[in-house]
Structure 1
Amino acid sequence: METLQLPFIYKQNKDLKDSIKHHFFSWLHLVDQPAVKIYRGFGNGKTLIVHGSMLRRSALPRTKYRTSIWLNLLGLIRLFLVRPYPHATMRIQAGGQTIYTQADLDGYFRAEVPVVEPLPSGWHVVQVQCVAQESGEETVVAEGKGAILIPHQAGFACISDIDDTFLVSHSATLLKRLRVLLTRNAHTRQPFEGVVAHYKLLAEANRTDGQTNPFFYVSSSEWNLYDYIVEFSKKNGLPEGVYLLSPLKQLAEVLKTGQGKHMTKFMRIVRILEAYPEQRFILLGDDTQEDPTIYESVVRHFQARIRCVYIRQVYHKNQPKTREILSHVEAMGVPCCYFAHSAEARQHSVESGLTTL
């Protein structure tokens, strides 16, 4: 009787493994091939910030949102099954310029593209390609298009946290946070009552030429949740804006979601302020984690640039500490509103002259 050779058995096992893997990824709507993910960027008259992630495995956009806990769990898990494409060479075309940059170990890339001629305010299309050298020629591995915001000169711009600032997340309690994250989706998650009305009021305050005040959403949540958060914001009618999140996490780190380094969040806010030196800002956050401390540091460094600080009351144990921090902010001449309900924040915006009803 003929004996099967080891290489043949190995090939059979490998083919079977690859087949199972392929069907599993297809079932989860994962694409196991290179893809460029471009996040919304921002710019001014001198520089355009283009950033994104180069992935070798990515999740297809979700098109159906159901109430099934099982489907919502799978929908979240697949966002943490993405895999980065480290150290890829990226070719960026923006503002009539073409530059090259390299993705980091996590597949994230960020480039500052110099502007030859200032672009008008509004959203502008950028194109990014992953390229490889083959026989002395560039081959496009993957490509994608994204958008960059050039804000108009507004009365103020807004920088807002996400979790527990406008999106109910229970960040202070790990089990509650995981329960809502794992069992709900971008269409079944809830914003705080009245928060959308407040944000719209701020966006449309003193609007000119039909342009709204710009919004920047800065969070410790990971880039894995980018599409999830954008879809939630769109579904609930929040002002369109730029999102700055934290590095990608893998599935083994899902229990640590939303627990990014807060110093990096401070630096992301600083980059926004430095990009618009003539612009004043409103800061919006909550008391579940480090927003009060971060915003106090921002005020210390940019006192004249901050018009107001809004902090939502969510975590009772942090209230004494938060009140003390906000008293320091007010002592520096920046008004604060520490509120339990968005209606209070909205009224404060009117009474302080930031906007009108």
Structure 2
Amino acid sequence: MFLSKLMRALREALYLLGRPARRARARRGLVIQAYRGCGTQERALLIGRVFRQSSGRTARGSWDLWGNIRDVARRLMRRSVAGARVRGSFHGTRTTVETDADGYFHLEISPASPLPPGRLWHTIDLALEGPEGAEAVADVFIPPAQARFAIISDIDDTVMHTGVANKVAMMWRLFVQDAESRTAFPGVSVLYRAFHAGPSGQEANPMLYVSRAPWGIYDILDTFFRRHRIPVGPILFLREWGITWKNPLPRRAEDHKRDVIERMMGLYGDLPFILIGDSGQHDPEVYAEVVSRHRDRVLAVYIRDVSPRRPMRASEIGRIGEEIRAAGSHLVLAPDTVTMAEHACARGWVSDDTVEAVRRRIASLPHRGSRLPEDHPGPMSDTAARQPGQREYDRTAVPEDHI
């Protein structure tokens, strides 16, 4: 019985890990992989990668063990293409950028004509210049005029349990568990949908997710977000660890989160922000620096308390909270999602029924932190169910072959 379950888990994990290789559209072995971007009516930002991948027959399903092993091997043997020229086309504008040493490119492009009204997701056409030209389509989220604020949320130990404070547990969950076996914090999907919808249910506020994990697990995180109905897309900003046989340890990226936040605050210069993180590592310290530089633009800092048995850490966060209050914002150290929802509801950032919807969602789970039916609609407010961003994303669902 145990062996049967183990083999099934292995097949499912291999099928998920090999999915990027199956989805990649290779032309003469070259692939453009575009990650979902974000932007405004004036400009859009996008990250992608160019690599070589061998062709061959792909797995026919999770039961196809050898096919999945081949797909995983093709993914592991991808070779980054440095110096490739990628052309982006977006509503009458063409811009060309070059990939870096790891094969990644950062595209910033401004449309020459007004964007179609009534849409949250727009597309950018990508093409590789030269005789081996590959093509791809990227999806970009652009909020409507009625958006009131933007959310920047950490992922690890904020949205999902990864145990960042426990390195062994984090690495196990990050690279061994698949998306469906990862656990979302109870109620987080309901709260995030409420933030995205706003009190009117029609705001479609930008949801921006930050992680220090490598781009290599983007597909797993994407599956996790879809599985748990966490809005909107999602938009993920990760980093390249630069792991090679010669350099098996990831590169240091202490300023990664800070840099991403600064870029997003510059992009959405007319919106205030809500920052969400956890107490396990450096989120309070990073967010405090952001508040000190942008005093009038940070509505609140929510810190999920994942280290309740560390009184020294609680004392440190208390001191940081005083600094943030002195700078004109406030920090909420939250033991659970309900605490965040209560604070946000009291300030009019979410609908009035959000707190009760979060409570009902948590109560509907078999036990706290269970393997989650967070993807099941469960009890939620009518406002959250009507929120336009999720409807738009469901309707324009980013095609599987875009990724």
Q: What TM-score range do you get, normalising by the shorter chain?
A: 0.7 to 0.9
Aligned to 2:185: 192
Structure 1 residue ranges, 4+ long, deviating more than 3 angstroms after superposition = 27-32, 57-66, 71-82, 248-257
**1:266 aligns to 2:258 (yes or no):** yes
Measured after TM superposition, the shift of residue 344 of structure 1 is 1.3
The Cα offsets for residues 118-161 of structure 1, whole Å up to 9 and x where unpaired, read as 324511011111122xxxxxx24321111111112312111111
Higher strand share: 1
**Residue aligned with 1:303, SS:** coil
Gaps of 5+ in 2: 1-16, 354-403
Measured after TM superposition, the shift of residue 329 of structure 1 is 0.8
Distance 2:62 2:227 in 1: 12
Gaps of 5+ in 1: 1-26, 133-138
Measured after TM superposition, the shift of residue 340 of structure 1 is 1.4
Aligned to 2:213: 221
**1:276 aligns to 2:268 (yes or no):** yes
Summarize the Cα distance change of 1:345–1:337 in structure 2 as closer, same or farther, 3 Å threshold: same
1:93 aligned residue (84, 89, 93): 89
How does 1:36-75 map onto structure 2 within 5 Å? 36-57=32-53
Aligned to 2:198: 205
Aligned to 2:223: 231
Summarize the Cα distance change of 1:256–1:199 in structure 2 as closer, same or farther, 3 Å threshold: farther
Summarize the Cα distance change of 1:216–1:144 in structure 2 as closer, same or farther, 3 Å threshold: same
Do 1:61 and 1:227's aligned partners in 2 also have CA atoms closer than 8 Å? no
Measured after TM superposition, the shift of residue 270 of structure 1 is 0.8
**1:285 aligns to 2:277 (yes or no):** yes
Measured after TM superposition, the shift of residue 299 of structure 1 is 0.7
Aligned to 2:235: 242
Taking only aligned residues, the RMSD between alpha carbons, in angstroms, comes to 3.2
**Residue aligned with 1:203, SS:** helix
**Residue aligned with 1:91, SS:** strand
Distance 2:264 2:58 in 1: 28
The Cα offsets for residues 278-332 of structure 1, whole Å up to 9 and x where unpaired, read as 1111100111121111111111111111111100111343322222212211221
- The residue type paired with residue 337 of structure 1 is V
Task: Give me the identity figure in percent.
Answer: 26
Summarize the Cα distance change of 1:90–1:286 in structure 2 as closer, same or farther, 3 Å threshold: same
Q: Give TM-score, length-normalised by structure 2.
A: 0.71
Flag the structure with more relative contact order, 1 or 2, with Cα contacts below 8 A and sequence separation at least 6.
2
Summarize the Cα distance change of 1:231–1:296 in structure 2 as closer, same or farther, 3 Å threshold: same
Summarize the Cα distance change of 1:179–1:157 in structure 2 as closer, same or farther, 3 Å threshold: same
Aligned to 1:340: 335
Measured after TM superposition, the shift of residue 88 of structure 1 is 0.6
- The residue type paired with residue 240 of structure 2 is P
1:171 aligned residue (155, 164, 171): 164
Distance 2:78 2:60 in 1: 18
Do 2:58 and 2:71's aligned partners in 1 also have CA atoms closer than 8 Å? no
Do 2:148 and 2:203's aligned partners in 1 also have CA atoms closer than 8 Å? no
Aligned to 2:364: none
Measured after TM superposition, the shift of residue 186 of structure 1 is 0.8
Q: Give TM-score, length-normalised by structure 1.
A: 0.80
Distance 1:97 1:308 in 2: 37
Measured after TM superposition, the shift of residue 254 of structure 1 is 10
Larger gyration radius, structure 1 or structure 2: 1
**1:104 aligns to 2:100 (yes or no):** yes
- The residue type paired with residue 44 of structure 1 is T
How does 1:110-149 map onto structure 2 within 5 Å? 110-119=106-115, 120=117, 122-132=120-130, 139-149=131-141
